[in-house]
Amino acid sequence: MEAPSPKRTAWPLVAVVLVSLLAHAPCLSWGFFADDCGHQLVLSGTIDHESMRPWNLYDFGEAPGPGDPTYEVGGLPWWTPAEWKVRFFRPVASISLWLDHALYGSWAPGYHLSGLLWFGAILVAAHALYRALGLSPRAALLATLFVGLEDGAVFSVGWPANRNSVMEVLFLTLAALAVARKAPLVLALLLALGAALSKESGVVAFALVGLLLLRRSSGAARPVLGVSLAAGLALAFVGWLVWQGYGANSRFYPEPWDETGLYLKRMVVLVPNGLVALAAPYAPDLIFVFPELTLPLTLFCLGLLAAALPLAWPRVRAHPAAAFLLGWVALTLLPQSGAPISDRLLLAPMVGAAGLFAIFLDAVRTEDAPARGVRVFAWALLLSLTVLSGGALLVRGAAFGPMARGMREAILSAEVGPPEVGRRDAILLNTPSEMATLSPLTVWMAHSDDEDVRFWALQLGRRAVTWTRTAPNAFELRSEGEPFCNGPIEAVFLSAPPAFSPGERFRTALFDVEVVEVDDDGLRTIRVELPDDADNPRFRFLAWRDGALRAVPPPAVGETFKLAEANALFPMIP
């Protein structure tokens, strides 16, 4: 019998890759968003950041002090404690963005195009890995399609600043493929190092290499040296990161050895919600935006898993690759508990899960007279992983473009006054979105030629406030809604749960803040003291009104203004 030609065997994979890239193509219209702006400023040499460099774009540094450029321009909000830090060492992801800048300059679609090409490389590598692990041609192709249409990958692929996740998954997959194809161990370990240098959670690549070394051995012929070497390199890498001061001291990124309770709590929520999100177009980001949904959604996901696993696992476990793929899911999912729950954390686990899904569907197809419930579940899973997930991917990709533009325009709409005034300090009384105003100065600098503007947030949230002028250069701000500093993005700049005491003082390069009132819920009232009269035209007090950050004149001494809660910029973005 004549063997199929390479062209005949290659075209289905080409079709799967093209369909997947087309489903992600709406990201080409997004433009730069959030951290992208800071990266652009560093890559272009516009700013000389204390720790961020073109080859190290994810090292956001430690809490700055007087004299530090970040402190002097209000780069971090007033409630940032002295022990705060967010320092990630991701040179592989950084260099990929540096290369993009060399190719495209500030042309954002080029960065999105690079993300698509890297994702295409992941799909080709994943297909090769599935075949090397023993999946049938049909199952390998299905698994690759499932990865390509995973709706949760929309931000990992499309958002340049999330390039770290894409590079991590590419090197994870290549490292595993090297072992599966019995390439020299040193190549597999170098590729595993590439995953760790793309994103910290990529250090699990060394464990995956060890698992595959054990899997391909038999009896007493265990590859002790290779496994020991992989484990030793993983420990050495983590030790080096700690020695160099990398890591985070932020409520947004709890580390398991510093905040074990919070880390484990997030893990308990992430595992069931994340597993369901791998199989269905379900966004666990709902829990991040609406924390009150944590318990009902987690219980619902646990119920789904309890119903699905007895149907699926008996048909999967006999496959030689099942244990390794299950280990892949566990090893890549659990480290993600160090970040708030989001489906953008699930690209790496999806590579393993997609293989398991495909093995199950292949087993049902070849099974003699499977039970009706099994057949229904198999069809539902196939529909969910293709039509529903692919549709959700297209919708989310198309919807995020207007969202990204809206968040940029929210900052650029700020009524900061004419350049003739000179230095202007824009003081945010409330905002339409915490995410949009996470780093307003970098957005402004990346998109505006007006270099004499600085942004200073009194809050990042939408809270209604009562604004009372107590002196020519001082005023009190009282939250009439949620207490200050308890928002999900505001927590980025906290190193511990917010705990304020009356009389406690904070200092920025522009103003001092004193805690006035704390109730049972948290920080209620602050007093702000400016270096000059609040009526000075250099001060621009901004509040969200009629779709823009409008300038609001300060009240007269002794008077009080009430500012209504700002309308949400977008419903699913905090």
**135-173 pLDDT tens trace:** 999 999 999 999 999 999 999 999 999 999 999 999 999
Confirm whether 81 is domain-assigned: no
Beta bridge partners of 517: 525
Considering the entire predicted model, what is its pTM? 0.94
Question: Tens digit of pLDDT for each residue in 300-331?
Answer: 999 999 999 999 999 999 999 999 999 999 99
- Considering the domain architecture, whether residues 393 and 419 belong to the same structural domain is answered as no
- Considering the domain architecture, whether residues 371 and 500 belong to the same structural domain is answered as no
Tokens linked to 123: 């799909």
Domain containing residue 161: 6-30+88-404
Confirm whether 1 is domain-assigned: no
Q: Is the model more confident about 225 or about 58?
A: 58
- Considering the domain architecture, whether residues 126 and 254 belong to the same structural domain is answered as yes
Relative orientation angle of helices 108-132 and 137-148, to the nearest 10 degrees:
150
- Considering the domain architecture, whether residues 392 and 418 belong to the same structural domain is answered as no
The count of structural domains within the chain is 2
Q: Are 536 and 552 in contact (CB under 8 A)?
A: no
Could you give the CA distance from residue 245 to residue 136 in angstroms, rounded to a whole number?
46
Tokens linked to 324: 């390794």
pLDDT at 222: 60
Q: Which residues contact 339 (CB under 8 A, 6 or more apart)?
A: 252, 253, 345
What secondary structure letter does DSSP report for 508? -
Question: Tens digit of pLDDT for each residue in 53-106?
Answer: 999 999 999 998 888 888 888 889 999 999 999 999 999 999 999 999 999 999
Question: Tens digit of pLDDT for each residue in 331-356?
Answer: 999 998 888 899 899 999 999 999 99
- The position carrying tokens 């702000």 is 528
- Considering the domain architecture, whether residues 397 and 449 belong to the same structural domain is answered as no
- Considering the domain architecture, whether residues 390 and 456 belong to the same structural domain is answered as no
Confirm whether 398 is domain-assigned: yes
Could you give the CA distance from residue 68 to residue 70 in angstroms, rounded to a whole number?
5
Q: Which of 404, 437, 456 is the last residue of a domain?
A: 404
- Considering the domain architecture, whether residues 381 and 433 belong to the same structural domain is answered as no
Residue 436 pLDDT more than 70? yes
Q: Nearest 5 degrees, angle CA 556-CA 559-CA 565?
A: 105
Confirm whether 233 is domain-assigned: yes
- Considering the domain architecture, whether residues 449 and 369 belong to the same structural domain is answered as no
- Considering the domain architecture, whether residues 393 and 510 belong to the same structural domain is answered as no
Confirm whether 468 is domain-assigned: yes
Confirm whether 65 is domain-assigned: no
CA 327 to chain centre: 23
- Considering the domain architecture, whether residues 385 and 445 belong to the same structural domain is answered as no
SS3 358: helix
User: What is the distance in angstroms between the CA of the first residue and the CA of the last residue of the chain?
Assistant: 61
Average pLDDT over residues 485-501: 92
Handedness of CA 544, 545, 546, 550 (dihedral sign): negative
Least Cα distance to 74 among 456, 377, 404 occurs for 456
Q: Which of 345, 375, 404 is the last residue of a domain?
A: 404
Confirm whether 572 is domain-assigned: no
| Percent of the chain at pLDDT exceeding 70 | 97
- Considering the domain architecture, whether residues 378 and 513 belong to the same structural domain is answered as no
Confirm whether 73 is domain-assigned: no
Q: Which of 363, 386, 404 is the last residue of a domain?
A: 404
CA distances from 170 to 2, 118, 198 (A): 35, 8, 10
pLDDT at 8: 58
Q: How confident is the model at residue 2 (pLDDT cuts 50, 70, 90)?
A: very low
Average pLDDT, the chain: 93
Q: Which residues contact 243 (CB under 8 A, 6 or more apart)?
A: none
Could you give the CA distance from residue 282 to residue 82 in angstroms, rounded to a whole number?
38
Residue 231 pLDDT more than 50? yes
Average pLDDT over residues 437-463: 94
- Considering the domain architecture, whether residues 113 and 233 belong to the same structural domain is answered as yes
